[in-house]
Structure 1
Amino acid sequence: MSNFDDKLAQHISGISKEKQPERDLWRGIELGITSQQGDASQDDASSSTVTSKQWMAIAASVCLVIVLWFAAPFAFKAEESRSDGYALIDAMSMQQQQQVNSLLASYESTTALTEDWQEQLKELDDAADVIKAALKDDPDNSALIKMLHHVYQQQIALIERVHAPKWQQI
């Protein structure tokens, strides 16, 4: 063993095996027991209050859920919200139709460069109808709205290209 180990063993053997308290502990124990008994009687009363409050909260929550369960179908009508979401598509369609009619009226005296442009316009119109049918089921689908907008842009571009190509505008 080293010198440190010898000193450590000597100190350990010099320590007494029993530790005596510096003051009388029974008085503190007695006070602790009596205060716990008083607290226990108060805890019983407060725990019953907490329990009754919990039951009242649960009952109120159940009543609220029942009221919402029966009132929800009347307050939130799925058809109305679906038609509100579809109002944007209806407005887009009306604006597109007005724009197409306006363009066709302005190019009425101009001869078209091709003969099948009305068939192409009809195909684009059919594509728009298919997209609008899909939007009736999901009016908030942004991808479908973008597709519809793109089809409408193609319709306008077709009418302008057929009646007033860029090479004639110079």
Structure 2
Amino acid sequence: MSDFDQKLTQHISGLSKEKQPERDLWRGVELGIASAQDTPSSDDASSSTVTSRQWMAIAASVCVVTVLWFAAPFAFNADESRSDGYALIDAMSMQQQQQVNSLLASYQSTPALTQDWQEQLKELDDAADVIKAALKDDPDNSALIKMLHHVYQQQIALIERVHAPKWQQI
């Protein structure tokens, strides 16, 4: 241990273990108590009544919010919440139908390369209907939504392949 460390240790051990206040604290406590006693007692009663009313209002508000929180799922019809969640699927289906109709209209003058493409398109439509039926029960199922999107992509790819194969494109 160095000389500095020894001197530091001696000074630390020489310090008192308790910190003493620099002034008399009881005088401040005395003045605080005296000022509280000097106020009129009628103000004390009204301020405590307001405080208890405020607590009662807060407690009542918490009770109302709690009851509404637990009762809200039962108050609303489950079909309405399903229809709200299913709105994305309906919009997606409408957009797909518009895209398919516009593709078919644009390829109307172009002859199809195969004859059974409409049967394949019908099979994809049936698959989309099955997925949409499953989504009615669980509209937030991301796996089913991805499957529906994939079926819709296959429909568009089928129409484009049948009417404009890659070997005809430049």
Q: Give the shorter-chain TM-score range.
A: 0.5 to 0.7
Report the counterpart of residue 134 of structure 2 in structure 1. Answer: 134
TM-score normalized by the length of structure 2 = 0.60
Distance 1:75 1:163, change over 3 A: same
* 1:60 Cα deviation after fit: 6.0
| 1:77 equivalent in alignment to 2:69 | no
* 1:81 Cα deviation after fit: 1.4
Deviation string for 1:70-104 (max 9, x for gaps)?
A: 84256433221111110000000000000000000
State how far apart, in whole Å, the 1-side matches of 2:143 and 2:67 are. 38
TM-score normalized by the length of structure 1 = 0.60
Deviation string for 1:97-150 (max 9, x for gaps)?
A: 000000000000010000000000000000000000000000000000000000
State how far apart, in whole Å, the 2-side matches of 1:60 and 1:88 are. 39
Report the counterpart of residue 93 of structure 2 in structure 1. Answer: 93
* 1:68 Cα deviation after fit: 3.3
Structure showing greater Rg: 1
| 1:119 equivalent in alignment to 2:119 | yes
The one-letter code sitting in structure 2 at the alignment partner of 1:116 is: D
State how far apart, in whole Å, the 2-side matches of 1:167 and 1:98 are. 27
Report the counterpart of residue 148 of structure 2 in structure 1. Answer: 148
Q: Percent identity?
A: 94
Q: Secondary structure at the match of 2:112?
A: coil
Q: Number of paired residues?
A: 118
